[in-house]
């Protein structure tokens, strides 16, 4: 077709179109396409909601949004929600009365230490009574406590941001990272020999950085601009934070009947926008290790990133394996693992605020960093979310690892693994309780089909224990530390007595939180539960 034929065809088409459209009102020709476009956008938005949240959650969301729009309903729901928040804060509010809100006219000088000692007396008796929380054994004024406190104090003024000034702390950080990497497969040939990383303020920051680096790496390598990540339902809440902060679509996938990550279900959720899948070793709720090898194979095949959360297990599983415990592969020796988070401040027995994020190679880690070149303050680059970082904590972590050594960690691991098995056995011997899954490490989660497990938790709280409440299924857990080794029999006796108390006198105790935990698990409108938690946090500080 030459140009003359094309123009003839266009002329005929225009005449035909004008003839056909002449039967319609001019305003209709303007508004109908606009209205059609708006309807199409609405339908597209609805489909996107269904795609992101699922059919059931979307229907419930639309329903509750409609219900809340009914005059008077929202006000009623807000009042009821405030009652729950007030109850959650009942004990804390009275304690906050009299808190200082401005500087004293005259400084206290050295007397401030005595003031702090007085305030410290208001802390709960945590020795041997808390799930996790304090991982170092013994008295806080001697032994390992005293050692890391002295190390922190010696370097409290330092900041590794100033590489040229505080070279000792820079070396401490590099050695903590290298020693941690060596525990997690860096010396294995299969690791590739390029394992690298940095210290962070805790497991959440380590996970945030790993997710951020994975997102940017996959954007650079694969051109993904609408990133998604897929995690098991048992994965830590830090991934929800990362998804929120870094604009990543998050898919939480139900675990299998053994409470491990369901690899087939995760595979079904993978799309062309997937940047990252996640496994835990072990998961925080139940102490169960996900199938890391299978997830690694999936990540390798589909060329996506794979993060392993070893925040709890990083300083236990390597030593448990040496002691002969059946530990499945979990580290960089597994092909497909691209990053790992591990807390030194848990079973590494370092001061609070110390964790490590590791990467398989420098190509991935480079995407963790942020470099600034247009600032009038000069050229700037930082490896983590924080700019200035506390060198004292880094020094404390180095001191902890160097003071304990391989033999110290083996001895500690033997003690807490044996304690965990004794607690698991003791719980299984209580007829009205069941252990959730088969724990691989130092967490024992348990529930009941006979009594309200949250009422049991309230009774345990009244006896001074601080355990973690879980959902899906309703249960509680204890994360076993060196603090628990001397008090195992006390714990089991109190637990057995608490079950019997609830069985004989079912119903919430005065001031207990069982009704709130129970109701929160049953409320289908999860947005309402989220609002309740946000309101509680917003008025707690």
Give the model's pLDDT for residue 111: 95
Q: DSSP label at 485?
A: G
Closest CA to 471 of 536, 531, 535, 520: 520
For the stretch 3-20, pLDDT in tens is: 677 777 777 888 887 777
369 dihedral zone (left: phi>0; alpha: psi -120 to 50; beta):
beta
pLDDT > 90? residue 254 = yes
User: Which residues, other chains included, contact 234 with Cβ-Cβ below 8 Å and sequence gap of 6+?
Assistant: 255, 259, 261, 280, 283, 284, 285, 286, 288, 290
Whether the Cβ atoms of residue 387 and residue 377 lie closer than 8 Å to each other: no
Token pair in block for residue 34: 């606009």
Q: How far apart are CA 78 and CA 74, in angstroms?
A: 6
Give the model's pLDDT for residue 82: 67
pLDDT > 60? residue 404 = yes
Give the model's pLDDT for residue 15: 81
From first CA to last CA, the distance across the chain in angstroms is 76
pLDDT > 70? residue 214 = yes
**For the ranges 36-50, 179-193, 266-280, which has the lowest average pLDDT?**
36-50
Give the model's pLDDT for residue 361: 95
For the stretch 417-465, pLDDT in tens is: 999 999 999 999 999 999 999 999 999 999 999 999 999 999 999 999 9
pLDDT > 90? residue 27 = no
Confidence bin at 314 (pLDDT 50/70/90)? very high
Number of Cβ atoms within 10 Å of the Cβ of 492: 17
Number of Cβ atoms within 10 Å of the Cβ of 454: 26
Mean residue pLDDT across the chain: 89
Give the model's pLDDT for residue 534: 72
Give the model's pLDDT for residue 9: 76
Number of Cβ atoms within 10 Å of the Cβ of 521: 15
Burial of 388 (0-12, 13-18, 19+ CB in 10 A): exposed
pLDDT > 80? residue 297 = yes
Element (H, E) at 381: strand 380-382
pLDDT > 90? residue 511 = no
422 to each of 220, 271, 412, 415, how far by Cα in Å? 50, 44, 15, 11
Token pair in block for residue 282: 């072990």
pLDDT > 70? residue 295 = yes
For the stretch 356-386, pLDDT in tens is: 999 999 999 999 999 898 898 888 888 899 9
Helix, strand, or coil here: 422?
helix
Q: DSSP label at 371?
A: E
Mean pLDDT of 117-122: 91
Whether the Cβ atoms of residue 352 and residue 345 lie closer than 8 Å to each other: yes
Confidence bin at 521 (pLDDT 50/70/90)? low
Greatest Cα-to-Cα distance within the chain, rounded to the nearest angstrom: 98
């Amino acid at each position: 077709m030459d140009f003359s034929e094309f123009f003839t065809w266009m002329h005929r088409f225009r005449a035909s179109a004008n003839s056909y459209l002449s039967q319609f009102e001019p305003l209709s020709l303007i508004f109908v396409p606009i209205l059609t476009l708006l309807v199409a956008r609405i339908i597209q938005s609805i489909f996107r909601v269904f795609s992101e949240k699922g059919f059931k959650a979307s229907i419930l969301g639309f329903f509750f949004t409609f219900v809340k729009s009914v005059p008077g309903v929202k006000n009623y729901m807000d009042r009821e929600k405030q009652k729950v928040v007030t109850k959650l804060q009942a004990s804390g509010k009275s304690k906050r009365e009299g808190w200082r809100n401005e500087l004293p006219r005259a400084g206290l000088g050295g007397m401030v230490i005595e003031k702090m000692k007085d305030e410290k007396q208001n802390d709960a008796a945590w020795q041997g009574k808390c799930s996790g929380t304090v991982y170092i054994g013994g008295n806080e004024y001697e032994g390992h406590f005293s050692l890391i406190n002295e190390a922190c104090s010696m370097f409290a003024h330092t900041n590794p941001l100033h590489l040229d000034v505080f070279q000792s702390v820079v070396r401490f950080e590099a050695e903590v990272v290298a020693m941690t990497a060596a525990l997690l497969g860096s010396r294995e040939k299969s690791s590739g020999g390029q394992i690298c990383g940095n210290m962070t303020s805790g497991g959440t920051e380590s996970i945030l950085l790993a997710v951020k680096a994975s997102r940017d790496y996959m954007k650079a390598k694969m051109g993904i601009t609408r990133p998604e990540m897929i995690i098991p339902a048992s994965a830590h809440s830090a991934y929800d934070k990362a998804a929120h902060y870094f604009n990543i679509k998050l898919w939480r996938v139900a675990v299998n009947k053994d409470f491990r990550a369901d690899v087939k279900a995760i595979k079904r959720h993978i799309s062309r926008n997937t940047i990252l899948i996640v496994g835990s070793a072990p998961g925080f709720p139940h102490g169960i290790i996900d199938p890391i090898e299978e997830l690694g194979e999936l990540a390798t095949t589909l060329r996506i990133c794979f993060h392993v959360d070893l925040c709890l297990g990083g300083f236990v599983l390597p030593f448990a394996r040496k002691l002969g415990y059946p530990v499945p592969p979990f580290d960089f020796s597994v092909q497909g693992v691209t990053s790992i988070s591990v807390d030194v401040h848990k079973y590494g027995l370092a001061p609070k605020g110390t964790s490590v994020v590791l990467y398989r190679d420098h190509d991935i880690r480079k995407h963790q960093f942020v470099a600034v070149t247009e600032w009038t303050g000069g050229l700037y680059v930082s490896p983590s979310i924080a700019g200035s970082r506390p060198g004292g904590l880094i020094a404390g972590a180095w001191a902890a690892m160097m003071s304990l050594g391989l033999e110290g960690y083996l001895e500690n691991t033997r003690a807490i693994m044996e304690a965990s098995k004794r607690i698991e056995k003791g719980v299984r011997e209580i007829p009205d309780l069941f252990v959730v899954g088969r724990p691989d490490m130092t967490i024992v989660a348990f529930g009941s089909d006979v009594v309200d497990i949250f009422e049991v938790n309230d009774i345990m709280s009244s006896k001074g224990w601080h355990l973690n409440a879980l959902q899906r299924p309703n249960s509680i857990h204890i994360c076993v530390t060196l603090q628990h080794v001397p008090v195992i029999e006390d714990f089991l006796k109190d637990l057995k007595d608490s079950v019997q108390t609830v069985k004989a006198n079912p119903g919430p105790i005065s001031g207990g939180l069982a009704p709130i935990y129970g109701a929160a698990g049953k409320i289908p409108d999860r947005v309402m539960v989220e609002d309740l938690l946000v309101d509680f946090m917003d008025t707690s500080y």
